[in-house]
Amino acid sequence: MTRLILALSLLALTMPQVANAHGGGCRKSSPPGQCCHMDNSTGVVHCH
């Protein structure tokens, strides 16, 4: 059982993190293939 927990812990630490989606929509002025929007907490526009 300890080996299983250790193996699952190591797997969780080495797997890439899943990005959390957030609302807000894309700006019409976003470059092709990107989605830019305002981060309301910082007031900065960022693109994905």
Instruction: Specify the pLDDT at position 15.
Output: 67
**What one-character-per-residue DSSP string does the chain give?**
-HHHHHHHHHHHHHSPPPPPP--S---TTPPTT--EEEETTTTEEEE-
Nearest to 34 by CA among 43, 17, 44, 46: 46
Instruction: Specify the pLDDT at position 7.
Output: 87
pTM value is 0.42
Q: What are the tens digits of pLDDT across the range 7-17?
A: 888 777 776 65
pLDDT band at 39 (very low <50, low <70, confident <90, very high): confident
Q: What is the mean pLDDT of the chain?
A: 80
20: pLDDT strictly greater than 60: no
